[in-house]
Amino acid sequence: MNKSAFLLASLMLIVGLSSGYWLGSRTAPHQKITSEEVTEKILFYRNPMNPEVTSPIAMQDSMGMDYIPVYQETKSKSEELVGTVTIDAVTVQNMGVRTATAQHETLSHQVRAVGRVAYDEERMLHLHPKTEGWIEALNIDKTGQWVEKNTDLLSIYSPKLVSSQQEYLLALNNFEALKNSPILEIRQGAKALVQSSLERLRLLDVPEHQLHELKHKHKIKKSLHIHSPEEGVVMKIGAREGQFVTPATEIYMIADLRKIWVYADIYEYELPWVKEGDSVEMQLAGIPGKTFAGHLTYIYPYADAKTRTIKVRLVFDNPDLLLKPDMFAEVIIYADAQENSVVIPAEAVVRSGMRNQVFIVRSPGKFEPRQVTLGLESSGKIAVLKGVEEGELVVTSAQFLIDSESKLREATAKMLNSTNKLNSQADQLMPNNDESMGSREMMDHQGMGHD
């Protein structure tokens, strides 16, 4: 009895509510409904694990997970950039989304590299004899010695030098005999012969003091001296006393170490920072507590095939000769600052293949993907040449999760556009019902008239 009464009361309640709703809808005044108040229409349902699997009705996959409904976009949403993601505040907080403001900054960079001390090639001297002969005496016989300009290095006996002295003395005697000749051509010829003989001795590097002695004493020297044309440190001695030498023999290598070169290798990604004239600092383990200042003078026009680095040349003053060739050093190149650049954290950039993009915060919980053109990067920050304006908020964490959802929505939008295009083409190909019926009636009428 109690059960029957309960069922009857429930039935009467349902009938009453239905009637009231029907009457209310009949008597309620008509109101204009805005686009925001329209309930979004569900187009289809998408598999949560595989977006390519869809269903026209709500269902569950093999794991018991509900399919995700895909709604038709309203006018306001369709105007948004494809791939824009909207996430509720709770999810944003759980994902740990952090943002940063794009702002104008001055980027500076320090390029660190390992350098190798080397000779200044413009201050190296390789001394060879101008004629073959035998070395009779070495006045500088130890490497590492400092020699001044015009220092007497060695004496050499050369038959060619002896014969050249004899020719010069004969030319001098001939000029003395003919200098008072009444014939101008004879006087000029005798003088020209003296000059050519003297020039030949000079070209053979006979020093001036020996030429002066030869001219005034008329005594041939068996051995002639070779002097240092420049000052520097003797780095190599290529011959010893009594050795037969030729013009191909390198007797001395002299280097001026008061200015040295340093070669350093920089990586390709650092190449845009450096340029000729940049200031450089250098420290060496063998000279603790001292910092050397120099500058970058040359960037070599090729890269090393094995290390993928580019060699640069640095120049340093070395008045105390502390820097020695083949020493290793730590080098810091101070690149010029890049001023007035729109800068964002480098971690905000999502790099995928040939495309670089960031996510801009359009409003709380709404993230818009934006392709960007990047500039130089330094100290965890990167310059944006195109795509981001000053003051915009960019996502710096959890952007990969947002990127996954953005790509998913972009793929869905492309699929919907393709479906709409196919439906539009199908509607254009289908004939109008009224026209087809009229054509059919006309055909029937003509058929009846024929009979």
**What are the extents of the domains in the chain?**
2-76, 111-120+256-340, 124-255
Q: Find, among 256, 226, 328, the residue nearest to 286 by Cα.
A: 328
Residue 49 pLDDT = 74
What is the residue-wise DSSP string for 5-61?
A: HHHHHHHHHHHHHHHHHHHHHHHSPP-PPPTTTSPPPEEEEE-SS-TT-EESS--B-
Distance CA 116, CA 255 (A): 17
Q: 325: buried, middle or exposed (CB in 10 Å: 19+, 13-18, 0-12)?
A: middle
* Number of CB atoms found within 10 A of residue 171's CB: 19
Distance CA 331, CA 315 (A): 12
Distance from chain centroid for Cα 149: 46
The 3-state DSSP class for residue 438 equals helix
Distance CA 375, CA 382 (A): 7
- Phi and psi at 337, nearest 5°, equal -70, 145
Helices and strands, counts by H and E, the chain: 8, 25
247, 130 in Cβ contact below 8 A?
yes
Distance CA 265, CA 331 (A): 10
Distance CA 263, CA 114 (A): 8
Give the type of residue at 171.
A
376, 342 in Cβ contact below 8 A?
no
Residue 343 pLDDT = 82
Residue 381 pLDDT = 79
245 Rama sector, left if φ>0, alpha if ψ -120 to 50, beta otherwise: beta
In angstroms and rounded to an integer, the radius of gyration of the C-alpha atoms of the chain is 47
CA distances from 387 to 340, 346, 362 (A): 16, 14, 14
- Phi and psi at 322, nearest 5°, equal -75, -35
pLDDT tens over the chain, length 451 residues: 455 555 555 555 554 544 444 434 443 333 333 333 344 577 778 787 776 788 888 888 888 888 888 766 544 444 456 667 787 777 777 788 888 888 887 777 789 999 999 999 999 999 999 889 999 999 999 999 999 998 999 999 999 989 999 999 999 988 888 888 888 888 888 889 989 999 999 888 888 888 888 888 888 888 888 889 899 999 999 999 999 999 999 999 999 999 999 999 999 888 888 889 999 999 999 999 999 999 999 999 999 989 899 999 999 999 999 999 999 999 999 887 666 778 888 888 888 777 888 888 888 888 888 888 887 777 777 888 888 888 888 888 877 777 777 777 666 666 666 655 555 655 565 555 444 444 444 444 444 444 4
Q: Does domain 111-120+256-340 have CATH number 3.40.50.150?
A: no
Q: Does domain 124-255 have CATH number 3.90.79.10?
A: no
300 Rama sector, left if φ>0, alpha if ψ -120 to 50, beta otherwise: beta
Residue 311 pLDDT = 95
Helix/strand/coil percent split, the chain, to 5: 30, 35, 30
Residue 411 pLDDT = 65
208-217 and 184-203 helices cross at what angle (nearest 10)? 140
438 Rama sector, left if φ>0, alpha if ψ -120 to 50, beta otherwise: alpha
336, 368 in Cβ contact below 8 A?
no
Give the type of residue at 135.
I
Distance CA 157, CA 263 (A): 42
* Number of CB atoms found within 10 A of residue 100's CB: 17
pTM above threshold 0.75:
no
279, 295 in Cβ contact below 8 A?
yes
Joined tokens for residue 439: 């054509």
Residue 314 pLDDT = 96
153, 140 in Cβ contact below 8 A?
yes
Give the type of residue at 163.
S
311, 267 in Cβ contact below 8 A?
no
Question: Under 8 Å CB-to-CB from 311, ≥6 apart: which residues?
Answer: 263, 264, 265, 300, 304
Give the type of residue at 313.
R
Residue 287 pLDDT = 92
Residue 359 pLDDT = 87
